[in-house]
Structure 1
Amino acid sequence: MASHSTINKLCKSSKLIPLVISLFTIVVLLLSPISAAAAASTHVSDGLKNNLFPEILREEAVARLYELGKVSDVDGYLERTFLSPASIRAGNLIQTWMGDAGLTTWVDGLGNVHGRVQPPNASKKALLIGSHLDTVVDAGMFDGALGIVSAISALKVLNITGRLRHLRHPVEVIAFSDEEGVRFQSTFLGSEAIAGVLPVSTLQIPDKSGLTVQNVLKENLIDTTEANLSLLKYEPESVLGYVEVHIEQGPVLESIGLPLAVVKGIAGQTRLKVTVRGSQGHAGTVPMSMRQDPLVAAAELIVSLESLCKNPQDFISNDGSDGHCNAFSVKSLSGSLVCTVGEISTWPSASNVIPGQVVFTVDIRTIDDIGREAVIYELSNQMHSICDRRSVSCLMERKHDANAVSCDSGLNSHLKSAAYGALKRMTGEDIGDVPVLMSGAGHDAMAMSHLTKVGMLFVRCRGGISHSPEEHVLEDDVWAAGLAIQAFLETNL
């Protein structure tokens, strides 16, 4: 340790900063390439020394994720649907964080929260980075929120270090108001509006209480009509591309022991609403042989759907006899097809009444769009056969369709390099090749692909669990995501 006399000589030297500061700070100033003004901040200096910024990209980001995870419309679990009171509170919180990062903020006509930096002399084409602020019922706190928080944190680092103003393109972070589609059973309301593909009829879709999308917007002092909905659309020539960071929602990254992956593409999906109507009656007086029970018919339909989706090769051929061309591989379909009945309701829903009506949802996903249509065609055939045999009526409505999306190879190449560099800087080791995965879950990138090229990063989640309170991401993996986005912005913009 230096003696008191040595420290006194250092403090009196005319060649050193004329301030009484600790020897530790002097060493940091002499060895670090950062400015003296930045080094004077003890909170920031440790992060600046090694350029990894754990205070912002890990500690602060994780704290914000947990804070956002407490913003819910119900006690006991997380639920935040389109423009609900909790959704508004979450949007206000996100706006505050955007402002803290040096971004100009606003809320658009569909409740999307925006934060934008417009560097001097930058090109007009903006890079968009986004994810969603809404949740499913009984949700986890990382789905959607991780992407928003990681992007804001990365931009905050660039702002603190003075590099934000040197970007060659504007950067805009968007927290989309609806991706999950829980309230109105119509996904991607926010991102489809920006991409310009949201049908104007969507404004008149009712929720379970009878309120329409337009009603809910008006309740929140947003005057969006069929006439001005198109004003929300971004022009393709104003956008450089779209990037999304999201938890994997699957177990692959955990199984291979890596925090990040690049997404090659996103499976297409269709959401159906099936209504089965029969003859409502007394549970004790109608003989079993004379019943027209829609619930039993629905149960058979659901089991039939499971068989179809587990073994599509047993029901669908490639010879064109099923009414579809043979431009898809049944083997490929078998490897990616998943089907889910997630919601079912009966009327009048009483223990001593044979139901008169049953409604259930069907979610069908696969990377093969033609194969998905073939599955829907076969399901429709089975439905009419079962319903005719049971003397009940059936109606199948398509509530949502999204074709499979391929991510842009150029954006993915840059994201892959950024992820590799971030992980190497964190670990000091060569982690090998960053994996490339397909996404079976839908993302706002699907809607944004109608506007511009898209790229995605996946972040490891524990057990591959998502849409559940058990959803969890390691703090260091949150750090890796933010560091990768920071590296992507520095290298490419």
Structure 2
Amino acid sequence: MASHYTIILIFSVSIAATASTLLSDGLKNDLFPEILRDVAVARLYELGKVSDADGYLERTFLSPASIRAGNLIRTWMEDAGLTTWMDGLGNVHGRIQPPNASKKALLLGSHLDTVVDAGMFDGALGIISAISALKVLNVTGRSRNLKHPVEVIAFCDEEGVRFQSTFLGSAAIAGVLPVSTLQIPDKSGLTVQNVLRENLIDTTEENLSQLKYDADSVLGYVEVHIEQGPVLESVGLPLAVVKGIAGQTRIKLTVRGSQGHAGTVPMSMRQDPMVAAAELIVSLESLCKRPQDYISSNGPDGQCNAFSIKSLSGSLVCTVGEISTWPSASNVIPGQVTFTIDIRTIDDIGREAIIYELSNQMDTICDRRSVSCIMERKHDANAVSCDAGLNSQLKSAAYAAIKRMTGEDIGDVPVLMSGAGHDAMAMSHLTKVGSLIRLLS
């Protein structure tokens, strides 16, 4: 396995080669490891210290740390020779505009926000690698010969931690962000629009549409990211190309029963939402481990065919990540239990079939236990297929970079499905997308 530093260098070289190949005639100059590796690694660690919390990494939409991170990224963009600006939702942009270039721009990007207790490479790796790659093109003078502009975008919100609404920044640029999003409150009661105004950004429902890019001005969007999973490590390779991004549904399930004293309510008389929730969670696990045992072509609207069932068996994952109870006391039978469900698969029809079957199981379990159950769909995103042409360029660039750096002929760069959601899902509504992922080591 290549070293940590070598993997980052391979990754950055791949991006530089991809941008150059897509827009000109390939990367043939020196690798500039001091830029593509050493500076990139130092900046990753510097950005990883920009946090709203002590002892762990946390940056949410337009938080103080997020603003500091955006300013730092903007400084690095300017150091690379990019023209920079912040748009009306807090996305940070840096652009190379070669002389005599056409108007269609290649967009590169990732996000600057994080989850709570995040890894420092999530999102940041893509942004910093892209900036480093463009700096090399500027240093070597190759940027003047590019046939198209290149723009790096550090999206303000991909994770959706603060407002529980993912892809705020990229959805605005793609033109698919509902105007109602501006009025969504965070836990403190501040709306998205309030937070924008606190940061001197005057975005209203009337001018939100101005953030949308014209599809005719975009050549394509390429996102680079860490894998966030074990597959690359298991095959011993540092890079892979993404064939598609799994669709996702987030559900909030509320189970209400009869609150009572833990010592005085007989077991036979209880309407306990906790045990009903436990049974539902175990039932969900069984459903998602063996979907072929539960669904058939008789699913919702009869649309789930044999292909979907096979696809589910290879890509379906389901997670309960958050549970809360009321009143949450050790000597009280709870009156209410709420938990979240995250369902992901590359097959959208199959995902609907899973939700349909889950709803049926919920009705059966809750009726039998004499509790009420309410299922709320909080987020839906359809699966996205990456563009074959962009992926072919990414695959060639990754293969060449790995061979040049390690001397190894790996035969073929693996092509994987991404189970993690990325800004490419929103950007696919605007333009064709491609994606490259690297091993986190």
TM-score normalised by L of structure 2: 0.90
Query: Which residue identity lines up with residue 256 of structure 2 in the other structure?
Result: R
Change (3 A) 1:209 1:280: farther
CA RMSD in angstroms, aligned pairs only: 1.7
2:241 is matched with which residue? 262
8 Å CA contact 2:157–2:167 kept in 1: the answer is: yes
8 Å CA contact 2:304–2:350 kept in 1: the answer is: no
1:27 is matched with which residue? none
1:392 equivalenced with 2:384 (yes/no): no
1:194 is matched with which residue? 173
Match of 2:303 among 325, 331, 339: 325
Query: How far did residue 429 of structure 1 move?
Result: 4.2
1:101 equivalenced with 2:80 (yes/no): yes
2:91 is matched with which residue? 112
Change (3 A) 1:158 1:309: same
Query: Which residue identity lines up with residue 56 of structure 1 in the other structure?
Result: I
Query: How far did residue 301 of structure 1 move?
Result: 1.1
Q: Name the SS for the 2:302 alignment partner.
A: coil
1:442 equivalenced with 2:428 (yes/no): no
What are the equivalent positions in structure 2 for 1:130-149 lying under 5 Å apart? Answer: 130-149=109-128
Q: Name the SS for the 1:94 alignment partner.
A: helix
8 Å CA contact 1:116–1:171 kept in 2: the answer is: yes
Query: Which residue identity lines up with residue 54 of structure 1 in the other structure?
Result: P
After superposing the two structures, state which structure 1 stretch, 405-414 or 323-332, moved more: 323-332
1:90 equivalenced with 2:69 (yes/no): yes
Q: Name the SS for the 1:255 alignment partner.
A: helix
Q: CA deviation digits over 1:67-114, x for unaligned, max 9?
A: 111111111111111111111111111111111111111111211111
CA distance in 2, matches of 1:379, 1:147: 36
1:208 equivalenced with 2:193 (yes/no): no
Q: How many residue pairs end up in the alignment?
A: 414
8 Å CA contact 1:324–1:374 kept in 2: the answer is: no
What are the equivalent positions in structure 2 for 1:344-423 lying under 5 Å apart? Answer: 344-423=323-402
Query: Which residue identity lines up with residue 91 of structure 1 in the other structure?
Result: G
2:438 is matched with which residue? 459
Change (3 A) 1:253 1:82: same
Query: Which residue identity lines up with residue 302 of structure 2 in the other structure?
Result: H
Change (3 A) 1:331 1:160: same
Match of 2:257 among 270, 278, 281: 278
Change (3 A) 1:321 1:271: closer
1:174 equivalenced with 2:156 (yes/no): no
CA distance in 2, matches of 1:170, 1:89: 27
Query: Which residue identity lines up with residue 189 of structure 1 in the other structure?
Result: L
Change (3 A) 1:279 1:219: farther
Query: How far did residue 352 of structure 1 move?
Result: 2.7
Change (3 A) 1:104 1:234: same
CA distance in 1, matches of 2:194, 2:351: 34
After superposing the two structures, state which structure 1 stretch, 421-430 or 309-318, moved more: 421-430
Unaligned runs of 5+ in 2: 1-26
CA distance in 2, matches of 1:261, 1:55: 24
8 Å CA contact 1:292–1:390 kept in 2: the answer is: yes
1:158 is matched with which residue? 137
After superposing the two structures, state which structure 1 stretch, 235-244 or 353-362, moved more: 353-362
Q: Name the SS for the 2:280 alignment partner.
A: helix
8 Å CA contact 1:316–1:322 kept in 2: the answer is: no
Query: How far did residue 284 of structure 1 move?
Result: 3.0
Match of 1:300 among 279, 288, 303: 279
Larger Cα Rg: Structure 1 or Structure 2?
1
CA distance in 1, matches of 2:105, 2:28: 30
Query: How far did residue 356 of structure 1 move?
Result: 2.3
Change (3 A) 1:321 1:148: closer
TM-score normalised by L of structure 1: 0.81
Query: How far did residue 406 of structure 1 move?
Result: 0.8
Change (3 A) 1:358 1:194: same
Q: Name the SS for the 1:329 alignment partner.
A: helix
Query: Which residue identity lines up with residue 260 of structure 1 in the other structure?
Result: L
